Amino acid sequence: MSVVLIITFIFCIIIARFFYVQVVWGKELTLRATDQWNREIPIVAPRGVIYDRNGTLLVGNKTTYRVFVRPNAVVSKEKCAIELSAVLGIDPQTLLEKLNKKNMSEVTVAKQVEKESIEKLVSLGLAGVYYSRDNARTYSYNDLLCQVLGFTASDGMGLTGIEKYYENLLCGTNGEISYTTDIVGVETENTQIVYKQAIAGDNLKLTIDLEIQLSAERAMRNVYNSSGAKKVSCIVLDPSNFDVLAMVNYPSYNLNEIPRDDADRLNAESRNCLVSDIYEPGSTFKIVTAAANLEEYVKGNPKAFSPTYVFNGSRTRIVDGTTIKCWSDHANGKHSNQTLSKALNNSCNPCFTDIALMLGTDTFYEYLHAFGLGNTTGIDFSGEAAGLLLAQSLVKDCDLARIGFGQTIAVSGLQLACAAAAAVNGGVYYTPHLLKETALSDGKTISVYEPTVKNRVISEKASALLAEMLEGVVTEGSGKRAYIEGYKVGGKTGTAQKFENGHIAAGKYVSSFVGFFPSDSPKYLALIIVDEPQGTYYGSAVAAPVAKEIFEDIIKIKNINRYE
């Protein structure tokens, strides 16, 4: 009886195993078996192309090819390696080592091969050698916008910039060509070829305006060469929605001739400093301090300084034992009896120290956070810096006083441009953006980016008061070199000493200017940063004229009428 039970039990196990193999595991085993007799050649999906806001092509593709070898189908590996080497310019020994690798049904020997080389390979009729279409990126304007657009790896994947950030949209879905082979991988005589079409990536339309970008690039090259600066940067925003119209970092590099063999140079020149680097802004930051004061005045804070208030004419303030001086010696009555408007014109540090101390740490920090300081802006770009804002609990009066005129705080160029734009556009802070639209490869629009309001920083009234004062900086103050007759331009200059290893670096400055127009309804805002200019280093002399040059170009490009 026990023997019968044992036999029955074993028989049940065998039946169960058959059932599992045939039914449960059967589909997978069938696929495995089929796969042993099938080979696939990948078809690389065309990568999405990139346009400026007006539909001008910035990044496109050219057709290249990938070359594969199926070692089991090669008649003579030595001969094959030599023939491939002569056409592709690859070391024959390296190729031979690839062909001799065991357990490799297929090896890729070259990517992004030009059509002429493929035609030579075809004429040779080498057994076991195949090719499929690949894509190589082409950049229409070489080094233009290079740190923003970024570049791809040899396999087409985005490595930096927009190419990386929107990789999931640009990459598409690869297809394949499948056909049957014999046991050693040689294509059978009556092979059945199955074609799976590749799906192209989405096309992108950026907020960038090519003509404004070209103007900004030209202006920044000029100031780089004339000033002997270490580097220069410029961002042009639309203050009404924070669209990025232009973004320049110089020196730059040619996207069609990427210096991949010089890692240090590539890392330095491919870095988008406006987004990823920070610096002490100096007097351009007084825009934020003045905005906070005017908003408190509009709210009815009795401690706030009204537009008609006259500041003490002293050139120094003693705060926590620290002496804070104005850049001017106030000789011959300079900077005496100043209103807030005059303090902006003259860029007088002690006046903004008074404002910061009046606001106090808690209130001032509320404004700093509202203006996006100490945090990222949320731009659609990788590697954004958050800036440096001293922890509120650690702030002393002397720290607060220096923050008031742009020291003891560090910002990115993008942060400062956005803060200034929010201060003069009616008081609204938007999320800055580089992507405007996405579309299918046939041009059909998929989505359109809508401006996103993050918060209101100040009231419309306070913003209008500030914009009018900043117009005065250009018409009669330190920003005169940005003045354009017949147009309402506002702005603020800045000249900040650089710190290295915790100490002031002698003779090293960052010169800057943030300007906008028309001042009563801003449509264009530009931030110019000149890092370590040689000789003349004041922002009023170095940076302000660059903004004027760009604004004058915009006036011509957009055919903007004079102010009546």
pLDDT for residue 28: 54
The whole-angstrom separation of Cα 355 and Cα 350 is 9
Is position 283 annotated as part of the catalytic site?
yes
Element (H, E) at 11: helix 2-19
pLDDT for residue 142: 95
The whole-angstrom separation of Cα 462 and Cα 298 is 6
Residue 13 lies in a domain: no
297 and 252 belong to one structural domain = yes
Per-residue pLDDT reduced to its tens digit, 142-177? 999 999 999 998 788 999 999 999 999 999 888 876
Residue 8 lies in a domain: no
Closest CA to 420 of 283, 558, 530: 283
Show which of 139, 171, 206 is a domain's final residue.
206
Closest CA to 350 of 321, 322, 313, 310: 313
386 and 492 belong to one structural domain = yes
DSSP string for residues in 22-86: IIITHHHHHHHHHHHTEEEEEEPPPPPPEE-TTS-EEEEEEEEEEEEE-GGG-S-HHHHHHHHHH
User: Residue 88 is part of a domain; what is its CATH number?
Assistant: 3.90.1310.10
Show which of 206, 241, 276 is a domain's final residue.
206
- Amino acid symbol at 398: C
410 and 499 belong to one structural domain = yes
- The two beta strands, 428-430 and 435-439, are unpaired
Residue 20 lies in a domain: no
pTM (two decimals): 0.86
Residue 125 lies in a domain: yes
The whole-angstrom separation of Cα 511 and Cα 184 is 69
CB 436 within 8 A of CB 309: no
202 and 242 belong to one structural domain = no
136 and 246 belong to one structural domain = no
Q: How far is CA 106 from CA 128, 131, 503, in A?
A: 9, 12, 59
Q: pLDDT below 70 — which residues of the chain?
A: 1-6, 8-9, 12, 15-41, 177-193, 195, 313-315, 328-336, 564
67 and 88 belong to one structural domain = yes
Residue 320 lies in a domain: yes
234 and 194 belong to one structural domain = no
- CA angle 23/25/28 to nearest 5° reads 120
Show which of 206, 226, 257 is a domain's final residue.
206
Residues in contact with 559: Cβ distance below 8 Å, sequence separation at least 6, in sequence order: none
Residues in contact with 552: Cβ distance below 8 Å, sequence separation at least 6, in sequence order: 484
200 and 233 belong to one structural domain = no
Residue 380 CA, chain-centre distance (Å), reads 7
Query: In which domain, by residue range, is 439 found?
Result: 210-557
Closest CA to 532 of 176, 227, 111, 164: 227
164 and 224 belong to one structural domain = no
User: Residue 495 is part of a domain; what is its CATH number?
Assistant: 3.40.710.10
Residue 37 lies in a domain: no
- The two beta strands, 50-51 and 203-206, are parallel
pLDDT for residue 30: 47
The whole-angstrom separation of Cα 51 and Cα 34 is 44
Domain count, the chain: 2
pLDDT for residue 499: 77
The whole-angstrom separation of Cα 243 and Cα 524 is 10
169 and 275 belong to one structural domain = no
Residue 509 lies in a domain: yes
Residue 34 lies in a domain: no
The residue to which tokens 């943030």 are assigned? 514
285 and 178 belong to one structural domain = no
Catalytic residue among 132, 215, 227, 283: 283
339 and 298 belong to one structural domain = yes
